[in-house]
Amino acid sequence: MARAGVTSERVTRAAAELADEIGFDRVTGSAVARRLGVKEPSLYAHIANARELKVRVALLALEEMADQAAAALAGRAGKDALVALANVYRDYARRHPGRYAASRFELDPETAARSAGPRHTEMTRALLRGYDLPEPDQTDAVRLLGGAFHGYVSLELSGSFRHTERSTDASWAWALDTLDHALRTHPARRAGG
């Protein structure tokens, strides 16, 4: 029989596609193997175990989002940048729900440190320079924005907003307006930004 040409990259890609199709929590080694046209034990030449499969999808998602965030932020500042970054997360989550769920997979500290996670923090911090917040307020604002973006996207994706008429696009725009306004008029903000 011809060899299938499995690599850890192809395994990861197949797992990511599967996650978007059937949900991250339903991704299994056997499903990935089936999709690649090999038997399940063959995967273990390329990945250590089933957990690593999920970790790899998480790392892929974090990196894809960071790349898109970097592209979206280029040449933007202030509210323009805030809206661009926020929309990267929201759009990514809608386009790739399984990968987005994977990006919330709990990584061990060393893996998390080497992941694209810190890039997200850095980019949010860079964006906030346009709001002229002193430390430690800038750190607090990074956490608020990270939480607000993720929380909104996560609740919208899980259907928590479906019971109400109001368009989720409109609420999203309102939320970003409000966050921008809050950061611009925050008491901690230095005078004369």
Binding site for DNA (CB under 7 A): 1-6, 28-31, 37-42, 44-46, 49-51
C-alpha span between 175 and 105 (Å, rounded) = 26
Tell me whether residue 9 or residue 21 sits nearer to its own copies (CB atom). 21
Tokens matching residue 86? 């926020």
C-alpha span between 142 and 157 (Å, rounded) = 22
Q: Residue 190 binds which one of DNA, its own copies, none, with CB within 5 to 8 A depending on kind?
A: none
By the 8 A CB rule, do 47 and 41 touch? no
By the 8 A CB rule, do 90 and 169 touch? no
Q: Which parts of this chain interact with its own copies (CB under 8 A)? A: 25, 104, 106, 109, 112-113, 117-118, 121, 136-137, 139-141, 143-144, 146-156, 158-164, 166, 168, 170-171, 174-175, 178-179, 181-183, 185-188
Residue 172 Cβ vs its own copies, minimum distance, rounded to whole Å: 8
Q: End-to-end alpha-carbon separation of the chain, Å?
A: 68
Q: Collect all residues with Cβ–Cβ distance below 8 Å to 126 and sequence separation of at least 6.
A: 73
Tell me whether residue 2 or residue 170 sits nearer to DNA (CB atom). 2
Tell me whether residue 36 or residue 61 sits nearer to DNA (CB atom). 36
Residue 25 Cβ vs DNA, minimum distance, rounded to whole Å: 10
Residue 133 Cβ vs its own copies, minimum distance, rounded to whole Å: 10
C-alpha span between 119 and 121 (Å, rounded) = 5
Residue 40 Cβ vs its own copies, minimum distance, rounded to whole Å: 20
